Amino acid sequence: MKALSLLDGLTIVDLSMFVAGPFGSMVLADLGADVIKIEPLSGDPVRSNRIGPQLGGENAQFQSYNRNKRSIAVDLKAADGRRVVERLVEKSDVVFDNFRPGVLERLGLDHERLRTLNPRIISCSVSAFGQKGPWSDRPGYDLIVQALGGGMSLTGHDRTGPAHIPFHLGDTAAGLYAAIAILAAVADRARTGVGRRVEVSLLDAQLALLGDEVTNHSVSGQAPLRHGAGHPNFFPYQAFATADAPIVVAAVGVEKFWQSLCRVIARPELAEDPRFVGNDSRVRRRDELEPILAEAFRTRTRDEWLDALTAADIPAAPILAVPEALGTPPAKHRGMVQELDLGERGRVRVAGNPVHAEHGSRSFRPAPRLGADLEAVLASLGYDSESIAALRRAGVIR
């Protein structure tokens, strides 16, 4: 059973591997699309990565980005293998890939070719730097685009230097934008009856996420500084050490939060001090005010402060480790941790999909075994058992 049925009837031929493409297609699979993952005979390389936790001979990471899909293994370099994909395209809505530019053209599976088979087909490509133009022929990975996209210049601390965001932000941002692009193309096709090609680059996605950093630079002419554990435009809006573990406090937005904070830390006079009235004043005098707050927060434990701050309706939170974050009441209530039953391989927990819709199931299927759906998919395309056996003997399918 699929997690949601919003995209029932939408069939996606998924040629993508690694993280960026599979994450984007998984988002659509979670929403009800029938995603048929076309893998090389050896499988998506993530399956065979031996670094990190393993599940039944496969890397556990594969379960993170491939749930709710079907899998067939096909040799795209063989003419009969490409014909399998072509027959799928004739009956499908979308072809999704994250090959390097030029690969689909060499395989004869580019959009111009596919639209002769199905004028309604939508092609979506994810690449590091775009299908054409400067750097389009360069390889690129998550770390590379995080560095090139400006984000790493803002992370970390002046003392320790930049920090890579470890949860694949370069890949997953591009995957999300690709999913949005596909849905927009589907809506466009509903009006025009014709499919079109859309594409997303990992670097573009990183630049798009910079948001107000771009605007602020445009107006000020200054390069944004490293943010550390706070933000240069707001204060107090950062992490503070306590007597045991750090917390974050976001007493900004409305002045009542600052006034309440002053009372909670037993420094009510700060709320009336003209030097610190208004966020603008506090930001300008951060060097004066931050040591005062830091000294106050070190006098009590994390939980003591959180109880007091929460009671005063001041935005504050602990800095949770991943297992703690998965166990919060909202995460449990909203199904953001899904447990998948892998049969003899055991069970595994994965991050859920944040989209909720009425009348939708929250049941997820695990990522498929390599080629698990081969016979069912080929039979739906008109291949009989003898034809399938012949393809298997020829080494075209697995």
306, amino acid identity: L
- For residue 103, give the nearest of 188, 178, 15 by alpha carbon: 15
Strands 34-39 and 11-14: parallel
CA dist 130 and 54 (Å) reads 33
Within 13 Å and on the Cβ side, how many CA atoms surround 216? 11
Q: Which residue is it, tokens 């554990």?
A: 229
Say whether 356 is catalytic: no
Q: Write down the catalytic residue from 231, 333, 356, 359.
A: 231
CA angle, corner 125, sides to 176 and 196, nearest 5? 100
Q: Which residues are annotated as catalytic?
A: 231
